Amino acid sequence: ALTAGIVGLPNVGKSTLFNAITQAGAEAANYPFATIDPNVGTVEVPDERLTKITELIKPKKTVPTTFEFTDIAGIVKGASKGEGLGNKFLANIREVDAIIHVVRAFDDENVMREQGRESDFVDPLADIDTINLELILADLESVNKRYTRVEKIARTQKDKDAVLEFKVLEKIKPVLEEGKSARTINFEDDELKVVKSLFLLTTKPVLYVANVSEDEVGAPDMIDYVKQIRDFAATENADTVVISARVEEEIAELEDDEKAEFLEAIGLCESGVDKLTQTAYHLLGLGTYFTAGEKEVRAWTFKRGIKAPAAAGIIHSDFEKGFIRAVTMSYDDLIQYGSEKAVKEAGRLREEGKEYVVQDGDIMEFRFNV
Ligand code: GDP
């Protein structure tokens, strides 16, 4: 499964957020195959459509799909110099598919900023810079290594792949040297494959989390720190999610009905963990399809762009091996017509084959040979 790693400087609220994630966590009984790792928090992906389908079909059981957050351990500062725990920090980031960068955006004189700082003032941009700089330096080292190796081969113009790789490296190097992340670069389609093969850290999709004070979370637009973070994120085409980690910890302890009431009282319509989950899900290019029977209505995560047999394989490898076709309707059609029968009568029930590219919101039933 794809995972998003939570990073941030010490004392910005990562553990508080991760605790909230683990506590809000998916019920293990429903997901016996979920990762068992203290650094991984599995949450259910909130989805109104699943609720609506359940209301229509009234199955015995409803199972949401899940998403995994990874708590990234290790020491940030000096990480790119490659010593001990710093190395671990970079290695852990290398393994995740997206980065969730938590930034302190709350004033609280009882909570110190990272030790050894020149000033004690909260400074989101300086904090972002500290982490990004380590990632940029690590990438610069990888790029320089490749650069030296590929340069000669590319100069002879004989090896097409080397020429293309060199072109990409020449594009990335000066940007990193300027202290910017490689994700700020627009690559051509043919270059993207090369970029992927470089396994850089600063090309991973990122999402910034502004951790604001519990008193201000209802009116984030009024917070100057949030504005600063949003403006910076925009330079990387990245999203910003505003949460208060401390509030999330409280929410995680509540029952569902109390939760709605509590959220309303502080001026929110959904929890920060829910918002974060949905945003990370989209950042990773994930979509949801549903299976809907009387026994069970269930949501499944797929990587957008995959075809029907691969989607079937997410449920069971036999479904993929013996795939014949997928009886498919869209979520919108089910809601509009009210039942599968009515969707069929309206001529909207489709028989999709091996080449069908699965769409977010598809409701599918796979036919397969055993
Ligand atoms: P980490 O080092 O990034 O994991 O940070 P922690 O989660 O341990 O948080 C550091 C300190 O900041 C703790 O004392 C938290 O209670 C406090 N903290 C975290 N989130 C908030 C918040 O939203 N508001 C306030 N006032 N304090 C917070």
**Confidence check: pLDDT of 235 > 70:** yes
Predicted model pTM: 0.91
15 annotated to a ligand binding site: yes
- Which H helix or E strand runs over 308? helix 308-315
| Cα three-residue angle 312-316-320, rounded to 5 degrees | 45
**Confidence check: pLDDT of 117 > 70:** no
The predicted pLDDT at position 331 comes to 98
Q: Are 290 and 50 in contact (CB under 8 A)?
A: yes
Counting ligand 1 atoms within 8 A of each CB, the residue from 6, 11, 21 with the most, and so the one to mutate, is: 11
The verdict on the CB of residue 11 being under 6 Å from ligand 1 is yes
The predicted pLDDT at position 115 comes to 52
Q: How far is the CA of 11 from the centre of ligand 1 (A)?
A: 6
Strand partners, 242: 210
Q: How far is the CA of 13 from the centre of ligand 1 (A)?
A: 4
Closest CA to 221 of 239, 242, 207: 242
Question: Using 50, 70 and 90 to split pLDDT, how confident is the model at 54?
Answer: very high
The per-residue pLDDT for range 166-208, each reduced to its tens digit, is 999 999 999 999 999 999 999 999 999 999 999 999 999 999 9
Mean pLDDT of 95-123: 81
The predicted pLDDT at position 69 comes to 95
The predicted pLDDT at position 346 comes to 97
Distances from the Cα of 73 to the Cαs of 94, 175, 275, 317, in angstroms? 12, 28, 23, 34
Q: Where are the domains of the chain?
A: 3-114+204-283, 130-197, 305-368
> What is the number of other CB atoms lying within 10 angstroms of the CB of residue 355?
8
- Identify residue 297 by its one-letter amino acid code: V
* Cα distance from N-terminal residue to C-terminal residue, the chain: 26
List the single range of 23-37, 57-71, 140-154, 304-318 with lowest mean pLDDT: 23-37
148 annotated to a ligand binding site: no
Closest CA to 282 of 312, 313, 305, 304: 304
The verdict on the CB of residue 13 being under 6 Å from ligand 1 is yes
Q: How far is the CA of 301 from the centre of ligand 1 (A)?
A: 32
The predicted pLDDT at position 307 comes to 98
**Confidence check: pLDDT of 120 > 70:** no
The verdict on the CB of residue 244 being under 6 Å from ligand 1 is yes
> CATH homologous superfamily of domain 3-114+204-283?
P-loop containing nucleotide triphosphate hydrolases (3.40.50.300)
- In a 13 Å sphere around the CA of 90, the CA atoms on its Cβ side amount to 24
> What is the number of other CB atoms lying within 10 angstroms of the CB of residue 341?
10
Q: Kindly give the number of the ligand 1 atom that is closest to the alpha carbon of 212.
A: 23
Q: Are 253 and 17 in contact (CB under 8 A)?
A: no
CATH code of domain 130-197: 1.10.150.300
CATH 3.10.20.30 fits 305-368, yes or no: yes
Q: Kindly give the number of the ligand 1 atom that is closest to the alpha carbon of 16.
A: 7
**Confidence check: pLDDT of 271 > 70:** yes
How far apart are alpha carbons 128 and 327 in whole angstroms?
A: 48
Q: What is the DSSP string of 242-262?
A: EE-HHHHHHHHTS-HHHHHHH
Q: Are 134 and 80 in contact (CB under 8 A)?
A: yes
